[in-house]
Amino acid sequence: MPRRDFLKTSAGLAVAAAIGSRPLTAAERTRSVGANSRIRIAQIGCGSRGRTAHMEGIYKHVASTNFEIVALADPWGKAREEANGMVKKWFGRDAKQFVSHRDLLAMDGIDAVMIASPDHQHTDQLEAAAKAGKHIYVEKPLATELDKLKRSVDAVKAAGTVVQVGTQWRSYPGVGGARAVMQSGILGKISRIEEARNSERPYWYTYLGRDVKEADVDWKEFLGDRPMRPFSPDQYEAWYGYYEFSHGPTAQWAAHFLDCSHYIMGCGFPTSCVSTGGIFTWKDEHKFTAPDCVQATWIYPEGFMLTSSTNFGNSSGNTRKYFGTKGTLSLDNANAPSYSADGGPKRDGKIRGKVEVTPVECPDHFLNWLQCMRTGETPNASIDDGYKHAVAVLMAAKAYETGRKTVYDHAQRAIRTV
């Protein structure tokens, strides 16, 4: 709710006297939603992620949390219409449709937005939504540029709205259980964490062939601040495969593992990163520029190394492991982790055989966000958590682009090459 409207209420006047001119906190702002009021949500980005992950994911909780989807924004008319068809089926009326998120955010009566746009647009839309006073669910990775990342995070902090970042592994009961295992110390000192996430071909090929026509797309709106060029259905349909719109597998896939590892380990920002890779297998008429084989390695001040690699030339070798002096935690299945004493040079007999991790039950990621809008509590994947994984991803991107090691200066919020 805009501050001027908030101050119109008698309760708002009492609170305003206490808080003066500073920005509202999350708890103060969520009072405008009300315990029994219907939350009015808008979807920014109506592609497959927006419709299937966001809209279908949150609709599971409509009966218990009292919300409705009231508006949609997307540069592609067909995507908007398909999303509107879902709204009409669920709520019995049309949603307001917009080409641009800017017009959507100017609409009255929106409490919250969900952002599922291409990666290069996340920060602009996050910043704009925060400045408009909206609660926000935003997809990872948060950013493709550090300056825009800092600006959008600062806007969220100033607004005091409830923001959930789309690194949903934090809300998996198995991951919560893995965190408890790590905190128990039973695995000893962790020295190395590694992920290998491979496939027979890049995921961006699955988005080709959707028959996107220039007449149905606001091409300039899609490009955002990227240089204008002739319309390309390949670039629109499979933007994941073009480095200027998405930094490839490290930004898309490793972002989940990085955030999950930050959660499990309770660690700070990485201090350094190296990365290398290239396009080795998938060279064709689409002229994709994101790497199909890439590896990044980060060093953390707590004294361990984390490596994430992707190979789209062969699907074997997938793994996620945490290696300690007393045992190994396997997150090969994030929903059902396990651990054993395998490989631990200081194993002490406390781990016998393969032990299934006991899940720690928690609300799913969308439900957690909806609940926090009512209570003012911090969501599972806060803006600070999103900033941390985004910094790690951007360190890897700069290392990949320059071929040099990157370091993060936390005091200056700067990434530098050395």
pLDDT at residue 149 greater than cutoff 60: yes
Angle at 150 between CA 148 and CA 152, to 5 degrees: 65
Phi then psi dihedrals of residue 145, to 5 deg:
-140, 140
pLDDT for residue 146 is more than 70: yes
- The answer to whether residue 54 scores a pLDDT higher than 60 is yes
Q: What is the pLDDT of residue 35?
A: 64
Of 303, 307, 308, 293, the closest CA to residue 324 belongs to 303
| Percentage of the chain modeled with pLDDT above 70 | 91
- The predicted structure's pLDDT at residue 380: 97
pLDDT mean over 46-61: 97
For 307, list phi and psi in degrees, rounded to 5.
-125, 135
Report pLDDT for 34. Answer: 64
The amino acid present at 294, given as its one-letter code, is: V
pLDDT higher than 60, residue 207: yes
Neighbours of 89 (CB within 10 A): 9
Residue 45 binned pLDDT confidence (cut-offs 50, 70, 90): very high
* Mean predicted confidence (pLDDT) in 72-85: 98
CB 182 within 8 A of CB 262: no
Q: What pLDDT does residue 285 have?
A: 97
pLDDT at 7: 33
Using pLDDT thresholds of 50, 70 and 90, give the confidence band for residue 418: very high
Query: With 0-12 CB in 10 A as exposed, 13-18 as middle and 19+ as buried, what is 178?
Result: buried
pLDDT reading at 103 higher than 50: yes
Read off the tokens for 194: 């590694």
Q: What percent of the chain has pLDDT over 90?
A: 91
Q: pLDDT-derived band of residue 126, with 50, 70 and 90 as boundaries? A: very high
Residues 6+ apart with CB under 8 A from 268: 300, 301, 302, 388, 410
Specify the pLDDT at position 197.
Answer: 97
Segment 44-50 mean pLDDT: 97
**What are residue 271's phi and psi, to 5 degrees?**
-90, -30
- pLDDT at residue 157 tops 50: yes
Which pLDDT band, with edges at 50, 70 and 90, does 358 fall under? very high
DSSP state of 31: T
The reported pLDDT for the residue numbered 82 is 98
Instruction: Tell me the mean pLDDT in the region 312-331.
Output: 98
The answer, yes or no, to whether residue 360 has pLDDT greater than 80, is: yes
For residues 120 and 142, what is the distance between their CA atoms, to the nearest angstrom? 9
**Structural domains of the chain sorted by starting position, each given as residue range(s) with its CATH number in brackets:** 3-169+369-382 (3.40.50.720), 172-361+391-417 (3.30.360.10)
Task: Read off the pLDDT band of 235 (50, 70, 90).
Answer: very high
Supply the Cα-derived Rg of the chain in whole angstroms.
22
* Amino acid 116: pLDDT: 98
Residue 408 has what pLDDT?
98
Q: Encode pLDDT of 240-282 as tens digits.
A: 999 999 999 999 999 999 999 999 999 999 999 999 999 999 9
Summarize pLDDT for 393-413 with one digit per residue, the tens.
Answer: 999 999 999 999 999 999 999
For 291-331, give the DSSP string.
-SEEEEEEEETTTEEEEEEEETT-----EEEEEESS-EEE-
